[in-house]
Chain A
């Protein structure tokens, strides 16, 4: 066992010396490789954290939301519909929900106006989400002017600002009383944005949604399960964001593998020829090159993964946040809770280390099995 270990360490010493002889090229390779792993790992960590957060937080979303569609677009729903829906078996409550958007031309931002289902603010006051308060540059007790649909200005006093820990769900909210909401949006009292239904029995919700579709054909129901499925799909590997980011890294990897698999440099071929000429066996050379590949890929994997973890969970995913922010004027300031497990890290390792190691060993094996004289003369 001792001799075997010593042999491996000696070959590793030789492999590291070989890598250091081409230090410039290998450091550049390591940096790019680690950057690829970093991007892949950052995406994976960010998506899994967001998916976990969405699943936990949106578990509190309404059981069933009923929206009205007119000519394929969402339209205001008559509050009278609530009476018809209350009669459906399994529905314990139906509440009109009031929400909409409000564009602030001075700040070029669109806020979400909403009347909370529970405990709405008093008339004449407003509760702000964290990002909305920051953008408006206001504080508790100060007045903010909002333009109504009729063109007049409604001044509302800031009652409080939602805590920073709620920004992921409420950053852009302006919470109002029903009277103020209707004054700003012009939505008449007999209409609401949509209806929120409570259906305590989870197994009945699908049936209730189907009944509503028959009862009120101009509506559509959105179940809480649909909401959760949407976010699960958005933040899954097959989701849009993952696809976009992973395609880039995949292409980078293809270039790596292509570079390695398409053949060795003349210097590497000569080195193999010399080693064979001085008595190295094919298996020794393959082992040497395997150690070289392992040294590069393992270092890149560990460095890239550690940097990605620090980037996503200690630096709030600064680089990816810029991509996610897009053209948003309002963006939540939040810190994600890590949702990383050994399975994810193992998957990442298989995705990044094995292809490189395989791409390194195959051409070496091909070169190491030919005659050293031919290799050196080539």
Chain B
């Protein structure tokens, strides 16, 4: 092993790796840079959209205040998922022992913070 002459693993720059004049590494690095730039644009978009949405969010908050709402209207398949913040203490465990969960949303929504009150 030790007598073996050192072998250079540096490919000559003139030898193309993928097609005439294009190295595979160039294609990969180009694609990665492009995707990274797009990800950067996503972050810029998120920041911009957050600022743009402020009036609409303020209108939604005003609706909540005027109507006296307590919950988001996300899970409408059961009373305790429609009004998570006001769910009955026992509701996440259903209404009798060993009763199986009826609604998929029940698996998605964790017990409300007011449960222990």
Contact = CB atoms under 8 A, between A and B. Distances in A.
A169 B28 contact: no
A194 B85 CA distance: 14
Interface in A144-191: 162-163, 165-173, 175
Contacts of B4: 279
A316 interface: no
- What range describes how many residues of B lie at the interface? 35 or more
Contact of A166 (B23, B59, B107, B109): B59
Contacts of A101: 79
Interface stretch (A78-86, A250-258, A264-272, A324-332): A324-332
Among A20, A67, A231, chain B packs the most CB atoms within 10 A around the CB of A231
A56 B10 CA distance: 57
A24 interface: no
B60 A175 contact: no
Contacts of A295: 28
A234 interface: yes
Contacts of B112: 230, 233
A58 B68 CA distance: 10
Contacts of B6: 279
A112 B72 CA distance: 12
A53 interface: yes
A344 to B, nearest CB: 9
B11 to A, nearest CB: 4
A332 B67 contact: no
> For chain B, what secondary structure do more than half of its interface residues adopt (helix, strand, loop), or is it mixed?
helix
A324 B75 contact: yes
Among B29, B76, B114, chain A packs the most CB atoms within 10 A around the CB of B76
A12 interface: yes
Among B36, B50, B64, chain A packs the most CB atoms within 10 A around the CB of B64
Nearest to B69: A169
Among A61, A114, A330, chain B packs the most CB atoms within 10 A around the CB of A61
Given A166-B59, A226-B114, A339-B50, A231 B84 contact: yes
A338 B62 CA distance: 21
B35 A302 contact: yes
A233 B23 contact: no
* The 10 nearest A-B residue pairs measured at CB: A279-B7, A326-B104, A60-B65, A338-B46, A302-B35, A117-B68, A240-B110, A60-B64, A60-B61, A16-B24
23 contacts: A12-B24, A13-B24, A14-B9, A16-B17, A50-B72, A53-B72, A57-B64, A57-B72, A61-B70, A109-B76, A117-B68, A168-B72, A169-B63, A170-B67, A220-B117, A234-B110, A239-B110, A302-B38, A302-B39, A324-B105, A329-B77, A337-B57, A341-B43
